[in-house]
Amino acid sequence: MNLIETTGSHHGLERDDEARRGAKAMTSWQNNRGARDARIAAGAGLAHGKVVQARDATRLLEAVIRPGDRVCLEGDNQKQADLLSRALLAVDLSRVNDLHMVQSGVVLPEHLDLFDRGVAKKLDYAYSGPQSARIARMLFGGKIELGAVHTYLELFARYFIDLTPHVALIAAVSADRDGNLYTGPNTEDTPTVVEATAFKDGVVIAQVNEIVEQVPRVDIPADRVHFIVKSDKPFFVEPLFTRDPAAITEGQILTAMLAIKGIYAHYGVQRLNHGIGFSTAAIELLLPTFAERLGLKGRIATHFALNPHPALIPAIESGWVRQIHSFGSEVGMDDYIRARSDVYFTGPDGSLRSNRAFCQTAGLYACDMFIGSTLQIDLAGNSSTVTTSRIAGFGGAPNMGADARGRRHPSEPWLKAGAEADPDSPAALRRGRKLVVQIGETFGDKNVPLFVERLDAIELAEKLKLELAPVMIYGDDVTHIVTEEGVANLLLCRTAQEREQAIRGVAGYTDVGRRRDRAMVAQLRERGVIRRPEDLGINPLDADRSLLAARSIKDLVRWSGGLYAPPSKFRNW
């Protein structure tokens, strides 16, 4: 017996018995393969070759899935196997129940309806943005038995160790009759999910938008795919990474200017990842203007692990960006990416090839900086996007926003940050440091303060009796905090008290900010731990929207030469 099947689940044992019944000739070391074959045989009656009609999708799932199975229902922060999630929701509960869902994203209402109905019981996941309020209510109400909330990379890793799916329900753009899949620009998690499932005796079922003679490129080879369901509608994709420049405020522009001059330029950061907030969109839109005037072109922001952010188009068109590898794609960017293959990773068919697992790894190991925003930061620099009524999950930010202890290759920013943190160690034995920057305005939406004495995540963990509070980025990984009041360099803090005052010193008029030790903050400023706009030669009155390379979605379309086709909800023409 292998490790997975000895975890003590009675469901697992039942499946082994069933496998023995279904394949008498098999030795006891190939039970799982037998069970997999039996599942496929049970579904085969509904299929012509591998193709199953959409109306038979639920029957297929009833035939293939067993009670208590670990099921990966593909869905992340962007693409969704929506037809299969509806089909799963409709199963006969006497045949399919108590599933253990192991999936990146809990995003569609159906994902949670599964638990309400009793189709599923246990959940291990990474991201739940749009369902953050409902998932919190269901966790409080005991409707969901929570395994853990993960980062993407962490959940992917567990697919190969102790959360290997019995059945994977995935989404692709097209399939040929043999079952070769084209996942298109939104390849995302699919190769990882299929790898873990297909090579460990699991069953892979794909929903596809169309069945074609020949797929444009093979993203998933046919021998890893067991059933194909043709969907009437293309699978849903959320335009998660589109930020309308029209909504960028003067405060965000000021904060972006501080980051560019105080961090990007200071360390010479070339390899990096950006979060999805408006502050980082402002940075992207200031590269061809403000940063160009500072003479930084070619010296910063050249290589990205990043989704195809529309806001980066002006910088790309201005020759700032050499290369971008992406977790997923972005709605409306397909033609632009295709035409800019020097910058993006594309397949022989010309379209983007994204891959979340590789890109997360790239962000962790090959980037010198992560910069992103958050909802709460405490006095130690711990940050969280959890509030008492919302659990948004982690997604990828903690992988980006963590110092990779296994990193061994040097780079200028990494070494410089390491030296700032630990000036006394001999250089040859001193670890570098990844720059992990939290950027934001001191007050967020509805005047909610960014800085708090105690994270809501702690209260939530107590209420749910979790062993770990859901901290997005741990304070000891954070190197800088940037607000409109200034830049705090935590690498230069030598004591916990200095660290706290450095944070208070950029916390503006929040309660945390107003309770600063003014003398100590002044001293930190003299040491350059805190740098105000005037220390960086920036006049807040210059933070004007005219600095943005694009001030509207329409401007982005113009920059792209008409190649960017934004989704309708972002248009005003």
Partner 1 sequence: MEDLNFQHQVRARASGTRRSAVVGVVASGNLEVLVERALPDAQCVVDIRTAAMGFGEIWSAVIGDFVERYSPGGLKFSINDGGARPDTVSLRLAQAVRLIAEDGQ
Partner 2 sequence: MTASLDDVARAQRARRTSFNEASARTRLELMLDAGSLVEFIGPEQREVSPHLRIFDLPEQFDDGIVVGHARLEGSPVFVAAQEGRFMGGAFGEVHGAKLTGLLRAAREIGSIPVLILFDTGGVRLQEANAGELAIAEIMRAVMEARTAGAKVIGLIGGRSGCYGGGGLIAGCCSALAVSEPGRIAVSGPEVIETNRGVEEFDSRDRALVWRTMGGKHRRLLGAADVFADDTVQDFREAALELIGLVGAFGPDRLKAEHERLAGRLRRFGTCKDAVDIWTAEGVADAETVPDLPADRFIALADRIGRTSRDAR
Residue 284 CB, nearest distance to partner 2 (Å)?
A: 19
- Report the 10 Å Cβ neighbour count for 42: 17
End-to-end CA distance of the chain: 62
Determine the Cα–Cα distance for residues 107 and 76; give it in Å rounded to an integer.
Answer: 7
Residue 442 CB, nearest distance to partner 1 (Å)?
A: 6
Tokens of 35: 């069970």
Pick the closer one to partner 1 by CB: 244 or 485: 485
Q: Does 442 bind partner 1 (CB under 8 A)?
A: yes
Residue 259 CB, nearest distance to partner 2 (Å)?
A: 24
Determine the Cα–Cα distance for residues 55 and 524; give it in Å rounded to an integer.
Answer: 66
Rounded to 10 deg, the angle between the 356-365 and 190-198 helix axes is 110
What does each C-alpha distance from 507 to 151, 364, 484 come to in angstroms?
A: 28, 28, 9
Binding region for partner 2 (CB under 8 A) = 246, 545-546, 551-552, 554, 557-558, 562, 568-573
- Residue 60: name the closest of 73, 44, 38 by CA: 44
- Report the 10 Å Cβ neighbour count for 329: 26
Pick the closer one to partner 2 by CB: 179 or 566: 566
143 binds, among partner 2, partner 1, none (CB under 5 to 8 A by kind): none
Pick the closer one to partner 2 by CB: 28 or 572: 572
Q: Quote the DSSP letter at residue 387.
A: B
Residue ranges in 91-150 that form contacts with partner 1 under rule CB under 8 A: none
H-helix segments, 490-560: 496-504, 511-514, 518-526, 553-559
Secondary structure string (H, E, C) spanning 346-357: ECCCCCECCCHH
Q: Does 541 bind partner 1 (CB under 8 A)?
A: yes
Q: Quote the DSSP letter at residue 28.
A: T
Amino acid at 281: A
Residue 447 CB, nearest distance to partner 1 (Å)?
A: 6
573 binds, among partner 1, partner 2, none (CB under 5 to 8 A by kind): partner 2
Residue 566 CB, nearest distance to partner 2 (Å)?
A: 9
Pick the closer one to partner 2 by CB: 221 or 562: 562
Piece of the chain touching partner 1 by CB under 8 A; list 129-137, 260-268, 301-309, 538-546: 538-546
Piece of the chain touching partner 1 by CB under 8 A; list 27-35, 96-104, 317-325, 435-443: 435-443
29 binds, among partner 2, partner 1, none (CB under 5 to 8 A by kind): none
Q: Does 314 bind partner 1 (CB under 8 A)?
A: no
Binder among 7, 27, 447, 495 for partner 1 (CB under 8 A): 447
536 φ/ψ angles, rounded to the nearest 5 degrees: -100, 5
Instruction: Name residues whose C-beta falls within 8 Å of residue 500's C-beta, 6 or more positions apart in sequence.
Output: 379, 380
Amino acid at 471: V
DSSP 80-129: B-HHHHHHHHTS-TTTS-SEEEEEEE--SHHHHHHHHHTSEEEEEEEE-G
Q: Does 441 bind partner 1 (CB under 8 A)?
A: yes
Residue ranges in 475-514 that form contacts with partner 1 under rule CB under 8 A: 484-485, 508-509, 514
Q: Does 545 bind partner 1 (CB under 8 A)?
A: no
Residue ranges in 164-193 that form contacts with partner 1 under rule CB under 8 A: none
Residue 568 CB, nearest distance to partner 2 (Å)?
A: 4
Pick the closer one to partner 1 by CB: 195 or 250: 250
**Contact footprint for partner 1 (CB under 8 A):** 249-251, 254, 441-443, 447, 484-485, 508-509, 514, 540-541, 543
